[in-house]
Amino acid sequence: CHLIHYLRLSHHLIVLNYLICTFDKLQDVSSEGIKITDAVFDGVEVRVFEPPAKGDESLKRGVVYIHGGGWALASARISLYNNLCRIMAESLNAVVVSIEYRLVPKVRFPEQYHDALRATKHFLQPDVLAEYSVDPSRIAISGDSAGGNLAAAVCQQLSKEEDLAVRPKLQALIYPVLQAFDFNTPSYQQNMNVPVLPRHVMVNYWIDYLNGSYDLARELLVNNHTALNVGRALSFRARLNWTALLPPSFRKNYEPVVQTTGTAAIVEQL
């Protein structure tokens, strides 16, 4: 993939995503009676999973799901997420809306977030919920990895909007990507070279998402972008002080990496 990118035949993420979708061979999970349809919510493609009616229950739960993949890979339509959403729809008796947001490198931050927000707000409209027989008081927003990042951002934004008639009741994040402040947390240090997501690859996903330069990767890996002399990082440092926030079982013997002098310009370049 990187050779193809180097030869300028295509972007390596496009090639990798093509391979993922081409060799997507997971067996479909059998979920009897689940209706699956593709739709467009406010210009954003979604896949909707609807369980059959159960007895005298007139309204179902609702789940908005946002898939992972570094903002660049995977799809709501591949078998992994198709199976997951079918299982959720069946086990929760919920209408599941899986968002097919646009990917890097076609678009970059903040377009993935905008896609997720538009599709979610469309689904939360009372008339749309009524169309799918969804209880407005029982709606969750969920996502994994980069999708967890988008789900958290969508929930934050919805909490600020005063004119919404319907709001989500629950946020369920699965190993979400929530910060690019410290690439030397205990989990990053412990798993820095572990497949399939070593630390340098995660840094590159952030760079691709923010349309930055790969030349910045080395400085991000050693936290030069949040050094003590980087004024814009000061307000976030206490919020992400894992030496105080994590219990000893997670901190283990890892030490924080805080540079005295870093590169403030990285924040502007990302």
* Residues belonging to the active site: 145
Length of the chain: 270
What does DSSP say about strands 134-144 and 60-66: parallel, antiparallel, or unpaired?
parallel
The burial class, CB within 10 Å (0-12 / 13-18 / 19+), for 123 is buried
Q: Look at residue 37 and give its three-state secondary structure.
A: strand
What b/e string do you get for 50-72 counting C-beta neighbours within 10 Å, with b at 16 or more? bbeeeeeeebbbbbbbbbbbbbb
For residue 87, give every residue at least 6 positions away whose Cβ sits within 8 Å of its Cβ, in sequence order, or none. Answer: 29, 31
- The alpha carbon torsion through 162, 167, 172, 173 (nearest 10 deg) reads -40
The burial class, CB within 10 Å (0-12 / 13-18 / 19+), for 268 is exposed
